[in-house]
Amino acid sequence: MYSFFLSEYRPCPGCGVPIHETLADDHECDPERKLDWEMLLLRPDIESFEGDLARWLELPAGRFETWCARQGSAG
């Protein structure tokens, strides 16, 4: 049998702050906290960006875009 920890607090989907279930309707996200939360959620994408870009640049579409960029700067 599994036991799960049931809390009266849930994270706000907008800013991640734990909110008591009875206060959820009254909660307003702090803009700075919301930005911090969004950055935390984007961290995996941010950390993988350079590798993803390098792999894309090796594909035909990436090589074509590189070629186009060089043509534009040679003008």
CA dihedral 42, 43, 45, 46 (to 10 degrees): 110
How many helices (H) and strands (E) would you count in the chain?
2, 2
| pLDDT at res. 75 | 54
Give pLDDT, residue 3.
Answer: 60
For 56, what's the count of Cα atoms within 13 Å in the CB-facing half-sphere? Answer: 10
Residue 68: inside a domain: yes
Q: Is residue 2 in some structural domain?
A: no
Quote the number of domains for the chain: 1
State which residues form the domain around 54.
Answer: 9-74
Domain contains 4: no
pLDDT tens digits along 51-71: 999 999 999 999 999 999 999
Q: Residue 3 domain-assigned?
A: no
Give the whole-angstrom CA distance, residue 35 versus residue 13: 12
